[in-house]
Amino acid sequence: MYIALKWDHLIGAHFVSWIVVECSAVGEKFGLPQALPPRRDAAYFVDPETAEQDAKAFAEYKNAEVTTTPSDYSPYLSDHHGYCHYQWDHTYLEELVKHAVLYWEDGQHRKPAPVRDDIAYFVCPDASEQDSRFFAQYKLEQAERQVA
């Protein structure tokens, strides 16, 4: 099973807000939920405004045991902004992070200057590409609903 949990450690707290963990069950430890072993991290969500909702949606997707591969998609909400998944291409954390999803824009939409902000990191060696592709599509659909 997959569970979305608020990141509750000092280490990494400056950028990780929520985490999705694959685990055998969920228990309680010191009054808070805990993913029980065997367990492994699946994804880290870093946008403080949407991390909780994003992590819960991703855990729901993983628990649904969807067997279809997310389709190709356009990373554009317009010609100048959108969401995109990509293979992690840095030596920093390369043993951990396999794929990521970023929000990008030219500074004419949500942000006052051009940005490429990572919003989630996917770490499962066997599923990170499919997971990140799903998540980019999910974020695009959420953004389109907000505009409509």
Is the pTM above the cut of 0.85? yes
Structural domains counted in the chain: 1
Question: Could you tell me the pLDDT band of residue 5, with boundaries at 50, 70 and 90?
Answer: very high
Of 141, 140, 135, 144, residue with least CA distance to 57: 135
| Span 111-138, pLDDT tens digits | 888 989 999 999 999 999 999 999 999 9
| Span 25-76, pLDDT tens digits | 999 989 999 999 999 999 999 999 999 999 999 999 999 976 656 667 788 7
- Residue 47's CB is within 10 A of a number of other CB atoms, namely 19
Distance CA 109, CA 59 (A): 29
Backbone angle region of 31, left / alpha / beta, with phi > 0 → left and psi within -120 to 50 → alpha: left
Structural domain of 57: 2-147
- Tokens 């317009």 belong to residue: 78
Of 48, 22, 33, 25, residue with least CA distance to 122: 22
* Mean pLDDT calculated for residue range 70-86: 81
- Tokens 């999705």 belong to residue: 20
